Structure 1
Amino acid sequence: MSQADLPHRRRNLLTGEWLLVSPHRAKRPWQGEAAPPQTPPAPAHDPACYLCAGNTRANGKANPDYSGTFVFANDFAALLDEGGTGDPHPLFESQPARGQARVICFSPDHGATLARLPAAALAQVIACWCAQSAELGAHWGHVQLFENKGAMMGASSPHPHGQVWASDFVPEVVGKEDGAQRAFLAQRGAVLLDAVAEAELADGTRVVEANNHWLAVVPHWAAWPFEVLLIARDPVARIEELSDTARAALATILSRLLRRYDGLFGCDFPYSFGWHGAPHGHGDDSAHWRLHAHFLPPLLRSAVVRKHMVGFELLGETQRDLTPETAAERLRAVEID
């Protein structure tokens, strides 16, 4: 058995966390979940959908007859303008949490996922992300743009949509990434994700897609089977800083990546996806940051057979059998037009 096939640990450079890689286990017999037939594509309009144009949402408000992206305040927001302190016990810490939460409908087409959107519509979504980040970032310390796609990821509506949560605090994962990038710049005089991009391009085994402005890789430390890290190659710290050329290049690489996902198992590939940029509350203190996005899909062996984070993953540390190199190779092999 080669060294590459033996168990080893890899360190996530953005968070400092370790994970266990066990390539030899990928050869074990599988008697887990079986894949049922796939459901047909959704119609362009569903009269029962809360997010379709012209329909009434759960709170009784009617959606406008929108033709592009549609943004509205989340009817069941996780963050509010006023925050509570929780348990006042001196041993158990708590602090107020304030913010705003919005929903972004990508398109009036109920069946048009980001992977299926035409170039012009996808450009509208990217412009919307940039506008939301800039607007909310002027008032809040951090802005998180994300999408939960598919029922497997807990999406409350099948209509393609994302969310934006703005908060007066920096979330835990973003805080870890901020610290790691800051330390790397201080110690090595270089931007961490610039160094990662350079190394990944030179190696090539984990690269899925690349153009002059973006690099999509299954990162060396990937936790999920087909996880992808999308790195901006321009010196930008937040999404609203992207040039028009970089935004157009983003639409291209995003479409290609998501179509590779859908083609891997012939299904609407579920995932959680989100942007990480420098917290707005840090102002100009962002030289250590590089804008990037994480794609975290659970599928492992088929359209329904997923990677479960259980046992050792929950009690010890993340573990994977399929190596990032193999995952990238399989994504590259997907034929897209």
Structure 2
Amino acid sequence: MRGEWVSYAGARQGRTFLPSAATCPLCPAREGGLGEIPFEQFEVAVFENRFPAFSDAATPVDLPGIETAPSQGRCEVVVFSDDHRAGLGSLSEDRLALLLEVWGARVEALGQDHPYVLPFENRGEEIGVTLHHPHGQIYAFPFIPAQTRRAAEAQAEAPVIERLLHGAGQLVVEEREHASAFVPPFAMYPFESWIAPRRRVPGPQTLSDAERLDMARLLGRTVRRLDALFGAPMPYILTVQCAPRGFEATFHMTIDIRPFRRDAGKLKYLAGVEQGSGVFLADVLPEDAAARLRAVSADYPA
């Protein structure tokens, strides 16, 4: 009815759920213990997800009258640090720059066989995180998702992100020479924050060293601002928006962070209107959100 795919992966029901720090599968391998990463120390680790939503092993299923296709693709886990207590807001700028480099390398590699690649991070039990160790994921899709295609087509018609950067004004939270952090004027979540390079690039794989470092600095500082806003770690969804196949020349990458807390002790829920119509009801004006984010500290926690 909406021209959108739904993927089914029943095997994911048995995935690891909130293990203790002592049994965390993403911590460095311990003698006699279980772990996904066979190193005593590491900076960033990438490996194939044991519970994928898309897999090369997916097989077709026929349903009369319904269009179906096998959910063929690849899902990877990206572990940001060997420190179980770390997070994007506590990692050094060099480590965040390395993470951007890793994202870019995987987007480039996976994009050779898949039309769309999405790096992302889910943070916080409030949004359903099942492992506390700092990590994200990368999904390589067998199709271009409908909302991604709409965004890519809009950017093919006009330089949407460049116009946002030039006219952001009071929506800017922080700027660097090669990148900017801002609240989009159409923010769907309170305190939604985007980070974008000033130069139009299709993804992190084409950032220069200087651009990557500025993006890394703003990424860490943006997360620390969100954490400081209400004095607690902010639950959020972070996505690295990269060009789908065929739109590399016109797409402008962004890192989008959608927080799930609208006030101290209050979560932003997607209720009847959002779920039923797709129209988001935001509780905070974008310019007010930007002003409040500018007013809080982006320093590293003591």
Give the TM-score of the pair, scaled to structure 1. 0.78
Question: Does the aligned pair in 1 maintain the 2:26–2:35 contact within 8 Å?
Answer: no
Residue 117 (structure 1) aligns with: 91
SS in 2 for 1:320: coil
Shifted more, 307-316 versus 108-117: the winner is 307-316
1:288-308: CA deviation from partner (whole Å, max 9, x where unpaired): 211112111110111x31111
Tell me how far apart the structure 2 counterparts of residues 199 and 108 of structure 1 sit (CA, whole Å). Answer: 40
Question: Does the aligned pair in 2 maintain the 1:231–1:292 contact within 8 Å?
Answer: yes
- One of 227, 234, 238 as aligned partner of 2:192: 227
Residue 290 (structure 1) aligns with: 252
SS in 2 for 1:300: strand
Residue 292 (structure 2) aligns with: 330
Question: Does the aligned pair in 2 maintain the 1:225–1:327 contact within 8 Å?
Answer: yes
Question: Does the aligned pair in 2 maintain the 1:192–1:288 contact within 8 Å?
Answer: no
Shift of 1:124: 2.1
Question: Does the aligned pair in 1 maintain the 2:170–2:291 contact within 8 Å?
Answer: yes
SS in 2 for 1:205: helix
> 1:21-170 residue pairs with structure 2 within 5 A?
46-55=21-30, 63-90=38-65, 92-170=66-144
User: Does structure 1 residue 250 correspond to structure 2 residue 215?
Assistant: yes
Shift of 1:61: 5.3
SS in 1 for 2:180: strand
Greater RCO, CA 8 A, separation 6+: 1
> 1:6-17 residue pairs with structure 2 within 5 A?
none
1:211-252: CA deviation from partner (whole Å, max 9, x where unpaired): 121121111111111111222211211210000111111111
Residue 314 (structure 1) aligns with: 275
Percent of aligned pairs sharing the same letter: 33
Tell me how far apart the structure 1 counterparts of residues 141 and 275 of structure 2 sit (CA, whole Å). Answer: 27
Gaps of 5+ in 1: 1-44, 185-190
Question: Does the aligned pair in 2 maintain the 1:101–1:163 contact within 8 Å?
Answer: yes
User: Does structure 1 residue 181 correspond to structure 2 residue 155?
Assistant: yes
Residue 195 (structure 1) aligns with: 163
Tell me how far apart the structure 2 counterparts of residues 227 and 183 of structure 1 sit (CA, whole Å). Answer: 25
The one-letter amino acid of 1:83's match is A
The one-letter amino acid of 2:298's match is I
- One of 198, 202, 205 as aligned partner of 1:240: 205
Shift of 1:174: 1.1
Gaps of 5+ in 2: 1-19
Tell me how far apart the structure 1 counterparts of residues 44 and 82 of structure 2 sit (CA, whole Å). Answer: 7
Alignment root-mean-square deviation, CA: 2.0
Shift of 1:315: 2.2
SS in 2 for 1:225: coil
Choose 1 or 2 for highest CA Rg.
1
Tell me how far apart the structure 2 counterparts of residues 62 and 183 of structure 1 sit (CA, whole Å). Answer: 44
Shift of 1:144: 0.6
Q: How many equivalent pairs are there?
A: 278
The one-letter amino acid of 1:286's match is E
Shift of 1:69: 0.6
